[in-house]
A = this chain, B = another copy of it.
Amino acid sequence: MKSTKQSAVTAQDVADLAGVSRAAVSRTFTKNGSVSTETREKVEKAAAQLGYQINFLAQGLNRKRSMLIGVVVARLSDPFRSQLLEGLLNEIQARGYQALVTEVGNAEELEATIRRFTQFRVSGVIVTSGQPPIDLIKECIHFNIPVVGINRYAAIPNVDFVCSDNVTGAQLAAQQLIKSGCKSIGWLNYQYSTWGGITRGEAFSQVLQATEPWCYQQLVTICAQEDGYEGGRKAAHEMHKNGLKVDGIYCANALLACGFLDGMREHGMDAPNDFHIIGFDDTPQTAQYSYRLSTIRQDVIETAKRALWCLESRAQDASLLQRLEVVPVSLVLRNTSPESSYSVTQLKDK
């Protein structure tokens, strides 16, 4: 393990020590060429002795593709977002890639970001926030870089999308609220919401219209001024000020739901006694005792798996038709919209 050499140990050093050509070293570490077991062993021994490791920059320069995958994120303070990132990191690393993570605020930032991704010759791009700008995408497919968007959709050829099953989610939520006897139902979203939030609202509205027309007639759509916990809380305050009442409410995401619930509590009303509430995402926070929020659960692990599957399959064949992967969701019943009214009573007695 002598490391007297000033610079890094290169494949040539390994070749010299093993008494073979540098090409043999290269072939040993790539599944490409064919090497005799004898030389392979010699090379591996020499490499271990010198502590040789491939220079990924040189490798990427040669192959015109690095072992990097670019990930665009935003608002990591939202627990669901960081949960999703965690899932993506795991999948990326499990396949031997490295994640190039960029947080992005507005559209032009996203453009500069994707441009940097191409400069690193990434093997794929995952966009979890913002709409991939079409001209940038063209640049990506020019470099043969697969792109996948999560929880959004746009009719961009050669770009795959994977998103949760918002329609089934809406069905489950509507069904549950109706079954619980809710009469005046509300839908809570925020201004300038994401594609996912808007889609969930549309699906919820359509489901109600199709199955419970009288509920659909008086469906209350609440639009918070901002996203997140504070948005939900202020929406509740606003609603209370206007004297508006609902007894069942479905929310575009978990933070909005928690905020709305707390906002109502500030006015002395709580679920499930005064109203029922169902959120989206199912972050760890929604399961905590102070909330015990019923939610539509998104499967971040499955989402991450499918995203990487899209990237890998498209890396094989870039001419594939656009795919839209719909990830199943499930309804998690907790305190804010319990299984049945019986269990509520039991809980209150206890």
A interface residue numbers (CB < 8 A to B): 3, 7-8, 51, 53-58, 60-61, 64, 66, 68, 76-77, 79, 81-83, 85-86, 89-90, 93, 98-103, 115-116, 118-121, 139, 142-143, 229, 233, 258-259, 261-263, 265-266, 284-285, 288-291
Contacts and interface: CB of A to CB of B under 8 A. Distances in A.
Given A55-B61, A229-B288, A89 B102 contact: yes
6 contacts: A82-B85, A89-B101, A90-B103, A99-B102, A261-B290, A290-B290
The copy count of this chain in the complex is: 2
Given A53-B119, A57-B60, A119-B55, A82 B77 contact: yes
B99 A101 contact: yes
Given A79-B79, A98-B102, A229 B119 contact: no
Contacts of A51: 139
B119 A56 contact: yes
Nearest 4 A/B pairs, CB to CB: A82-B82, A262-B289, A290-B290, A76-B86
Interface of A is mostly: helix
Contacts of A120: 56-57, 98
Contacts of A90: 103
Nearest to A73: B89
A270 to B, nearest CB: 10
B103 A100 contact: no
Contacts of A54: 119
A120 B68 CA distance: 10
Contact of A79 (B57, B77, B89, B290): B77
A265 B284 contact: no
A295 to B, nearest CB: 16
Nearest to A228: B284
A188 B102 CA distance: 36
Nearest to A79: B79
A99 B284 CA distance: 26
